[in-house]
Structure 1
């Protein structure tokens, strides 16, 4: 049928006729794919492809003896050809069959054996069918098209097909579309094909509409992938091939089988409500064993006291799945035999697993996720609700007898009370009835096994203490084998609405379970609620954790009631920390995801804990949960919202100040030298030697020489004081710690009469690739520029703090530290005399001798290895040393600008007698970024901010988005599964406020100088500074700032350097953005 014959009827009967309805669109444009969306030519394409490839494969069978294998719709067309440009589809399919033929040229004769020749052959077949049979259309899509036209919504078509124009002409629809970006246009202007978003973004650009207010309609997986990549307001999938799941996995926001199912009202509803709701959710629609561990980390729930990975309830630790629950600051120390030596490590303990719930039908196997699962997963969806702090999973599974069961599980970790958690587990038999057993357990009989490279070591952290039951309550107590911390877990199990249920208890060393038996009916839901309480003997004020756990459990009500209490506290947190971005769905969702996981790692509950913030959160065991310098990136965000958390983190350091002093004395220094890795008691946890598994030789590990950790602690101490004005903290704790750190650096700085400079040796900078100078024979480097600049800066701040202390407190602290006037005088000399080398061009030498190192052939290594993030490992595998080359894992000297800003770094250099050209920041950025591999996720964060501030907006945005996406896409290939990266998560959120909104708190009053990404339409956030609560709203060219405090003083801010009083709404200059 030729659809053009009945268009008049469609127009007359359309339910979208604007005269008959008051439709007010909330979106500006819809870009339609052609085949399978507007016209039924997708089936014609599929048929033409099949005939073409079957013919070609038969000729190869005759010529080369290759067994003929038929081209199939599901096995070949959908995964390799559907939605892709013609020649890309040919290449994709042939590659899947291991066939390599020349690309050829689009002008190739259809008989030529080239990619283009085969593609042209298919095109002839397609056009022949088109001429013979005409074009059929999807009538509901055509109705929608006319409804959109009547409503004033812009319409475009974007297709990989080079036949788009003749097809639309035959259908009589060509004039409906205001823009057409098809295979012909793409070839002319060089657009990338799907799954890249180029054809859709170009269509929107042609119409002059914004992507976030536009809809992409697609039926192919590659098409919805393109829509998702393009960050459009709605990517609508049409499941013409019964491929709903595949389209959702590909990135479709909504999937329907036909446009009539959603209509204009449905699209409008998405833009009114759906998009906002989606901004609070992270969803996965498949079970990918290769990605499972990273998803477990990304789907974790927690409350700052404990975090629980988003593992399946029905699994135990294996090569694919790894359940884990971690309590902040809970460590255990074990000794392992490595080679011919005993090696001691302190680890972050994976405590009792409170999740386990599973079921079986009749006497069948218990449902279990494992590398070889015993049930088939038909469908699965997992959604983390960031707003409420709840993880929900819905799936349909099938056993070996074809019995299908819907399983819906929900869980939360209590934010209202951090010792509470809940799990709801619902089963529905879909095609059977019969006996079902449901088993709920508490398990503490596992080892730490979340990081594969640690698995050769002794990892049995837990020992059984008690397994008890009382009615429907099961109790488990385990303890850590060395630190002797008792961990009590109690779980109350309740079958909701089921009266006739038998139950039994089973237990063993370190585990206990309860099994319920009931007769289940087809399509009738069976629900288990499992409420949990967790306590340890390390908790403040807790003498008997089991008694506390029992008492708390007895007060727990239903799952929904407890969830509501927890969600209420989450709501209060979000009211303070939320960052609202208009015009960028992807950035909005990821910023909220990062905020969520930071609250999981360290919420306001952290204020009562004696622990730091692990760089990998409460999400995994990487770095053994030790505390590094990552808090330098994390704590600025908490200063804005929860400074009490920052104070608690600093108190963790202060309580270990004596250990830092002892560590300094061990190496012949004075003052306080904090360890690179810190755990329970503040000793150095970094290994100083390592075994080469290939050679069997022990070698030095110099990473503990990253003494700049003490500078990070001092930096965090000053920032907390500056942000809060908490002089009491400084007098009691902070000033003593900061001054003792300065005393350490003063004892480490050696004066050289030959050049009249102070030099600091045996250190490593943030770079990490360089451990020593080639040929030196000793570990560490001399005059690391970052370290020396930060030493000068923190010593200056020490004098500033001493000026603000009460005289009596200053005297007391100086006496405690035995700091004399002579020593303080030398500090002033050190500030002015620290050695930093700067080239004639204004490049600051990363460390003494850096300029003498060899250049690396970066292009060679990129071509050979593709992923060169960890160049150190690549070079060592080649028998080379990264020490020999000008390369960096991450920002080193450039970190100075990140911490202090260009003006402050310049002042410090000038005090050292170093004069730099006005453009030295740009010169140093360009010099070092091309010698940096970004082997740490933190590296992109630093370079993104500097690029943005230097006006390199495209580069800054590219680096920022790489950092923002890094954990979601697991950019480092498996590291996210070992724990999220708190530094980059907190840093990317803080950069929205500090870099894009331009908030600078280095002065006495806040300064705001916005420079939003060009496609952002608005930004709203709150922050605290010295007791005043600020609210900022940037929209279009207006900035509204309000402030509230308990005093009567006028509240002032600097807006682009101009002082204004609040509240005030300012219309900004045209140069904004």
Structure 2
């Protein structure tokens, strides 16, 4: 949680004098920089992992003749660390007493520059409080690191860096390495300066090298109470960077022109100030949510920032904060893009282009399965090949078992959903026609090919699939064979088929905007898409509620009270049942939202129209009963589950929505005993909590080229203020219990239609629209 990053480079919050020892874990990562090591995860050629790069932090001290300070050496009598969110700086104060009772105070400031993505810097002040004499310092770059954070749990990891070489010149040290498999080069240069007030003589410098590290040692005489200052400035480049001949030359040149720590800090703070002005989301300085919201925003922007736009990188599920899931890209982007669409849409576009560049690999994966179209893998990294593990250890017993999560083919539905919502929000026709339409068409072809026709009732079935609920991968006695007519998948397929057809219409309507390579989809194929979309089968429970999949109603009810008494926390219910020799496929249980994901992705009006368009009667008045049915059978084994459930409860049970969101806000902040945050933040949950306030509680949606607002603030929140970017207009939104006020920045843009509780207003540039809110029926929210 003390990681600093800028969307290109991130460094974990480990102390500069620490090394990986089971408690501390220094880690530096570059977005999209992966490597493959053989073996592990059930794959003979291994699994790609984000690479733990050379550690630039090492800096320690000792009185001459003493031990170098490190965790466990000397007596630590005081330590305080702080993360300055506004300025993007980590601050630290440390007081240690060595065996000779010499007391030394250390203060540090650390940054990873948001102004220049290749720079990081560490400022250290050391005061010998009760002693005088010779002080020695050691500042280095360690290339002997490995990926060891998750190795014991997943059976992977290891040393990814090869050909490590280090050296020095008159004022800097440098280290280069290559990724062992991909041979991608990386270079780190470091400049350390030592200053002492009224020093009789400058510090002496000695360069020390070993097989995988390089360091410089300084010796200087100090007086009790007189501070010395050590500035360490670092430049990091890799072979994936643009406009670079070779990483070492680029890093050396950048460092040569780098300013002092004070200069780097000023530029860095100014860059963060600009970001905060764009990503403002305020609920009141005294509100219990305000600080967690800023922490979430801070860590989101350290992973995905304006610097990410120029990279070939996706949305890593665990941020750039650790090695969880090996830095892979999942469907978590589905929870990230809606927030970015209304803040930094060019970033969403760049991240969707990461998917587009891997469309050929997705087509190959579909073809290998005997299918048409494209199938994105559940876990993706550099090339777009499937990085999903074949086997993984049980989180309960540690025993290795078959891992079938890679069969979650609905990831391509998530990509298509994100494409269309980006287009709706931004009106970016060039992206839709140049990239988005092809993604939509390829996804439509995959699912149309998977649907089988039953002429007896003019319905289509989709069989042998997995939905978002990972507790069910088959039927009782048929584990791993998939499920039939998953409601989430079938409704999403119907929606994507319609959007693919609509994209084709837009191509025909705007031939000048369509790319030269655009291929026309035959009219017969589009007619089949329409027929499938209208006739996909859904299954309903005897009480009329939408069934999660065919056969769900025949499953056994779990004795929840018994299992809560036995285990307490049931977030690992599926693995717990397996450890008992039981089968989760037998029960009406869910790890995370499945049917209810539909209510997260679509408004009640949209979902009603979708299901009715599939030829079924659907009463939106039954939505609260549907929520209650599945929520009472969900363990929230995924961090994304509470995001979806907080959303779907917002209109029917504001109090439960409030508490569900509190739990989601605490995913990485308040529940370390049940969280894997040490391996990286949960980026989908991070962005999803922000988006609940931005879109859910404001009722914000874009539909029919109108920005619509229908606010329902939760209990305990009196106001919400945020800045939005809608179709290149900067809008400032204020919502309280009585009114909505939305103002547009000055400019030459034409007025934009804004609807508040379905009352449409034209918002001109530089204008303000204030609309009183109609009072809700107090009985609408259940206490």
TM-score range normalised by the length of the shorter chain: over 0.9
Cross-structure match for 2:666: 965
Query: What is the alpha-carbon distance in structure 2 between the residues aligned to residue 696 and residue 584 of structure 1?
Result: 44
Match in the other structure for 1:614? 316
1:946 to 648, 653, 656: 648
Instruction: Confirm or deny that 1:426 pairs with 2:130.
Output: no
Distance in 1 between the 2:167 and 2:280 partners?
43
Which residue of 577, 601, 618 maps to 1:875? 577
Instruction: State how far apart, in whole Å, the 2-side matches of 1:563 and 1:1026 are.
Output: 33
- Aligned partner (choices 315, 318, 325) of residue 18 of structure 2: 315
Q: C-alpha separation between the residues in 2 aligned to 1:800 and 1:1003?
A: 14
Q: How does 1:813-892 map to 2 (within 5 A)?
A: 819-892=521-594
Inter-partner Cα distance in structure 2 for 1:972 and 1:1066: 46
Cα pair distance change 1:837/1:737, threshold 3 Å: same
Shift of 1:693: 12
Is 1:1021 aligned with 2:722? yes
2:163 counterpart of 1:467: no
Within 2, Cα distance between the matches of 1:1068 and 1:701? Answer: 50
| Alignment length (residue pairs) | 771
Does the Cα contact within 8 Å between 2:753 and 2:761 map onto a contact in 1?
A: yes
Equivalent residues in 2 for 1:289-688, closer than 5 Å: 298-336=1-39, 342=44, 344-369=46-71, 373-454=72-153, 456-457=155-156, 459-497=158-196, 499-582=201-284, 584-688=286-390
Matching of residues 647-796 of structure 1 within 5 Å: 647-690=349-392, 700-776=402-478, 778-796=480-498
What's the CA shift for 1:343? Answer: 5.4
**What residue in structure 2 maps to residue 1066 of structure 1?**
771
Return the alpha-carbon distance in structure 2 between the equivalents of residues 765 and 693 of structure 1.
Answer: 21
Measured in 1, the distance between the counterparts of 2:515 and 2:306 equals: 30
- Is the 2:430–2:513 contact (alpha carbons within 8 Å) kept by the matching residues of 1? no
1:980 equivalent in alignment to 2:681: yes
Question: Match of 1:449, SS?
Answer: coil
Provide, for residues 369-422 of structure 1, a one-character-per-residue CA deviation record: whole Å limited to 9, x for no partner.
2xxx11222111111111111101112122222222111111101111101111
Q: Please give the secondary structure, in 2, of the residue aligned with 1:635.
A: helix
Q: Give me the whole-angstrom Cα distance separating, in 1, the residues matched to 2:267 and 2:753.
A: 37
Quote the Cα distance in structure 2 between the aligned partners of 1:1026 and 1:833: 35
Q: 1:517 aligns to what SS in structure 2?
A: strand
Alignment of structure 1 residues 1030-1041 onto 2, 5 Å = 1030-1035=731-736, 1037-1041=738-742
Displacement of 1:860: 1.2
CA distance in 2, matches of 1:1024, 1:338: 42
Residues 40-55 of structure 1 mapped to structure 2, 5 A cutoff: none
Structure-1 separation of matches of 2:756 and 2:643 = 25
How far does residue 1049 in structure 1 lie from its aligned partner after superposition?
A: 2.3
**Shift, 1:866, TM fit:** 1.2
- Contact 1:1042/1:1064, CA 8 A, preserved across alignment: yes
Q: Which residue of 2 aligns with 1:57?
A: none
Distance 1:374 1:603, change over 3 A: same
The TM-score with structure 1 as length reference comes to 0.70
- 1:985/1:699 Cα in 2 relative to 1: closer, same or farther (>3 Å)? closer
TM-score (norm 2): 0.95
Query: In the TM superposition, what is the alpha-carbon distance from 1:920 to its structure 2 partner?
Result: 1.8
SS of corresponding position for 1:606: helix
SS in 1 for 2:148: coil
Check 1:405–1:861 CA distance in 2 against 1; reply closer, same or farther (3 A cut): same
Distance in 1, Cα, partners of 2:761 & 2:596: 33
User: Quick one: structure 1 residues 752 and 1068, their matched pair in 2 at CA, closer, same or farther if it must change by over 3 Å?
Assistant: closer
Contact 1:445–1:464 (CA under 8 A) maintained in structure 2: no
Aligned to 1:12: none
Paired with 2:232 and 2:693, the residues of 1 have a C-alpha distance of 39
User: How much has 1:750 moved relative to structure 2?
Assistant: 1.0
Report if the CA contact (8 A) 1:444-1:464 is conserved. Answer: no
Matches of 1:697 and 1:564, distance apart in 2? 51
d(CA) in 1 for partners of 2:134 and 2:28? 32
Secondary structure at 1:466 match in 2: strand
Aligned to 2:752: 1051
Distance (whole Å) between structure 1 residues aligned to residue 712 and residue 417 of structure 2: 26
Equivalent of residue 699 in structure 2, options 998, 1005, 1027: 998
Q: Is the 8 A contact 1:997 1:1011 kept in 2?
A: yes
3-state SS of the aligned residue for 2:703? coil
Matches within 5 A, 1:34-45: none
Are the structure 2 counterparts of residues 911 and 1017 from structure 1 closer, same or farther at C-alpha, using a change threshold of 3 Å? closer
For residues 812 and 918 of structure 1, do their structure 2 counterparts lie closer, same or farther at Cα, with a shift above 3 Å needed? closer
Per-residue CA deviation, residues 463-519 of structure 1 (Å, 9 max, x unaligned), is 133201012301010110001111100000000245421111111122111111111
Q: Is the 8 A contact 1:1037 1:1072 kept in 2?
A: no
Cα deviations by residue, 1:665-712 (Å, 9 ceiling, x for unpaired): 000100011111111000011123457899999854221110110001
What do residues 705-730 of structure 1 show as CA deviations (whole Å, max 9, x unaligned)? 10110001001111111111111112
TM superposition shift of 1:337: 6.3
CA distance in 2, matches of 1:696, 1:644: 42
SS at match of 2:526: helix
**Is this contact kept in 2: 1:1043–1:1051, CA < 8 A?**
no
Q: For 1:997 and 1:962, how far apart are their aligned partners in 2?
A: 20
Change (3 A) 1:971 1:809: farther
Instruction: Tell me the distance in 1 between the aligned counterparts of 2:306 and 2:342.
Output: 13
The 8 Å contact of residues 148 and 157 in structure 2, kept in 1 or not, is answered as no
CA 1:543–1:583 in 2, change beyond 3 Å: closer, same or farther? closer
Alignment RMSD: 2.2
With over 3 angstroms needed to count, the CA separation of the structure-2 counterparts of 1:696 and 1:306, relative to structure 1, is closer
The 8 Å contact of residues 583 and 1018 in structure 1, kept in 2 or not, is answered as no
Contact 2:151/2:158, CA 8 A, preserved across alignment: no
**Aligned with 1:409: secondary structure?**
strand
Distance in 2 (alpha carbons) for counterparts of 1:1004 and 1:816? 25
SS of structure 2 residue aligned to 1:442 = strand
Deviation at 1:787, TM superposition (A): 0.8
In the alignment, the residues of structure 1 paired with residue 283 and residue 514 of structure 2 have an alpha-carbon distance, to the nearest angstrom, of 49
Structure with higher Rg: it is 1
User: Whole-Å Cα distance in 2 between the matches of residues 1053 and 337 of structure 1?
Assistant: 53
What is the CA-CA distance between 1:731 and the residue it aligns to?
1.7
**Cα pair distance change 1:1070/1:721, threshold 3 Å:** closer
Partner of 1:261: none
Which residue number in structure 2 is paired with residue 206 of structure 1? Answer: none
Q: Is 1:336–1:458's contact at 8 Å kept on the other side of the alignment?
A: no
1:801-842 CA deviation, whole Å, 9 max, x = no partner? 222224575998898657322211110111111111012423
More helix by share: 1
TM-superposition CA deviations, 1:237-264 (whole Å, max 9, x none): xxxxxxxxxxxxxxxxxxxxxxxxxxxx
Q: 1:586 to 1:780 in 2, by over 3 A?
A: same
